[in-house]
Amino acid sequence: MISRNLITNVAKEVGFDLVGVVRAEAMPELRNRFEEWLLEGNQSTLAYLERNVDKRFDQRLLVEGVRSVVVCAVSYLSPLSRGYGDSDVPKVASYAVAKDYHRQIKQMLSELAERLCQAAPTLRYRAFTDSAPVAEKSLAVKAGLGWIGRNSLLVTPDFGSMVLLGELFISEQSDAYDEPMQDGGCGSCRACVAACPNSAILDYRAIDARRCISRLTIERADEEDALPLHGWIFGCDMCQSVCPYNRRAPLHRNPRFDAVFDPLSLDRAAWQAMSEEEFEALAGATPLTRSGLERLKSNINK
């Protein structure tokens, strides 16, 4: 047995903004809804979503012996997250101008786990961040961190939706578990739906990845129809920039998520003239390397 208060206190000390603890168990209703979404083909080229659905919605099938899941979130909100204003430079999603979050969150989760092991030496753990079949957003809702907004993203009341998630699967039961929020929600707001230039937001708080710029800039297959990218070369923030919760949330506090370059200083010509060496020096630590310079250049003017 491990103390929930200890977990939440240490998680905040290692730099997370929000934390909740939930039981590891099956989530059959969510699994059914996810399978309906897959049947409609909304996953597009994201074929990995079709695999391990059983594990995705029952953490005990992913990690043997897991009893609890610690769900952590950290803000990366920056002024860029609120939009590019009148600038017509090639646009990069604001999470991608900082160091790759996979590594940052894994380090934070490892530090959290090591400190929990000091209090509970028999504790075993696995850390995940967008790296395994884990229903991250659903677990965050279950843990009371927020709700699923119309744009399908987790919206938290105090930090908005520009948050990154990480989960620590632990072998101990917690002395208390968090519950979903009773209030909160999008109300009558539909700002994200109106802002999406490719009409990618579906009626039931889900995204049609076939139309979503965020996927198209990174994973578009050669044979796909040429939907416009509206100036984005990596990711897309439009349905988040307009969200009132992001408009009033504080800027991120954790320096791990500070920008390492400013896309507002790079016009089309600067991107087109960039060499691989210059790209590595500029953005080698960021998620842009997932895409590569050639694809970024090819996205300009699409």
Distance separating alpha carbons of residues 169 and 24, to the nearest angstrom: 8
Distance separating alpha carbons of residues 158 and 37, to the nearest angstrom: 29
Structure-token pair, residue 211: 């139309």
| Cβ–Cβ < 8 Å for 77, 252 | yes
Which residue ranges make up the site for ligand SF4 (CB under 6 A)? 149-151, 155, 186, 189-192, 195-196, 198, 200-201, 207, 212-214, 236, 238-239, 242-245
Q: Which residues are catalytic?
A: 130
Output 189 or 300, the one with its CB closest to ligand SF4: 189
Structure-token pair, residue 233: 């070369």
Output 139 or 229, the one with its CB closest to ligand SF4: 229
Question: Least distance to ligand SF4 from the beta carbon of 184, Å?
Answer: 10
Output 216 or 283, the one with its CB closest to ligand SF4: 216
Question: Least distance to ligand SF4 from the beta carbon of 144, Å?
Answer: 18
Output 55 or 295, the one with its CB closest to ligand SF4: 295
**Exposure string over 160-194, b if 16+ CB within 10 A, otherwise e:** bbbbbbbbbbbbbebeebbeebeeeebeebebbbe
Question: Least distance to ligand SF4 from the beta carbon of 298, Å?
Answer: 18
- Which residues, 6+ apart, have CB-to-CB distance to 239 below 8 Å? 151, 153, 192, 193, 195, 196, 201
Of all residues in the shown chain, the one whose CB is closest to ligand SF4 is 149
How many CB atoms within 10 Å of residue 258? Answer: 12
Question: Least distance to ligand SF4 from the beta carbon of 13, Å?
Answer: 30
